[in-house]
Amino acid sequence: IWQPEVGAAWQIILIKPIEISDDGKVSPDVDIYDIDLYDNDESTFSALHKAGKKVICYFSAGSWEDWRDDKDDFNEADLGDELDGWPDERWLNVSSPAVRTIIKKRIEYAAEKGCDAIDPDNVDGFQNENGLDLTSDDAVSFVKFLADTAASFNMSTGLKNAGDIIPDVISDVHFSVNEQCVEFAECETFAEFVDNDKPVFHIEYPKGTPNKVSSKDASEICSQKGKAAGTEGFSTVIKTMDLNGW
């Protein structure tokens, strides 16, 4: 199973299919692409691999989305509150066998597409108003299920945010995908990954994107001190919230 290296350069684009030139080159020329599992066809995965890239496949594992083809496969009893700021999504009961059956199918689909790893989002329902009484134990069990299932298809797994459960799952996952640890001054929590020779793919969404990020904000994000303490070795990118490739 692929274990990405600490400090690997990466790109994340989730809002649209990525663009590959006629000569097979992609920009930026980085080691790893984190892309949406559903928005990119198999030819995109093949082209990325031909260009020597590894592909991490994003999908939501812990939320129901009202635009997915499998939305009607979920039981109403397994759906919780809407995600704050995302009215088209609802938290899932990640301990439900029915939910896990559906998510296993998504992981199998990722393997069929040619993903090297999965980036399963929204595993931190227990840290939010979820309407399902989710606990950290629920999240730990679910992440272990995700990682075990992905491994059975020869794919590695990332932990998306969910800093509170890192000690319980760091031996099961292969990398972190973190959002806004500088903004919330919590990067030292995620430094445990680097300490265990596992990368942190780190995203910040400062004000001013996509037009002009202030030099103060950019300097703080890259400073490795103050609110950015603990980011040594992180693979940091500055993005717009919709992750459109900027």
- CATH number of the domain that residue 206 is part of: 3.20.20.70
Share of the chain above pLDDT 70, in %: 96
H-helix segments, the chain: 42-50, 97-113, 136-152, 166-169, 187-195, 215-221
Residue 245 domain-assigned (yes or no): no
| pLDDT number for residue 212 | 73
- Per the domain annotation, does 151 fall within a domain? yes
Percent of the chain residues topping a pLDDT of 90: 75
Q: Does residue 15 form part of some domain?
A: yes
Please say if the pLDDT value at position 209 is more than 70: no
> Burial of 226 by CB count in 10 Å (0-12 exposed, 13-18 middle, 19+ buried)?
exposed
- Share the mean pLDDT of the chain: 92
Structure confidence at residue 206 (pLDDT): 67
Domain-located, residue 1: no
- From CA 99, how far away is CA 188, in angstroms rounded? 33
pLDDT value of residue 246:
65
Whether residue 67 lies inside any domain: the answer is yes
Domain that holds residue 202: 10-238
Residue 243 placed within a domain: no
Is the residue at 131 inside a domain?
yes
Asked whether residue 226 is assigned to any structural domain, the reply reads yes
Return the higher-pLDDT residue of 68 and 239.
Answer: 68
Mean pLDDT to the nearest integer, 220-241: 86
Partners of 91 in the β-ladder:
63
Task: Write out the DSSP string of 142-183.
Answer: HHHHHHHHHHHTT-EEEEES-GGGHHHHTTT-SEEEEE-TTT
Report pLDDT for 21: 82
Mean pLDDT of 161-171: 97
The predicted model gives 55-62 an average pLDDT of 97
Least confident segment among 35-39, 55-59, 69-73, 209-213: 209-213
Residue 219 token pair: 């300097």
How many domains does the chain contain in total?
1
User: Using CA of residue 178, residue 182, residue 188, residue 194, what is the dihedral sign?
Assistant: positive
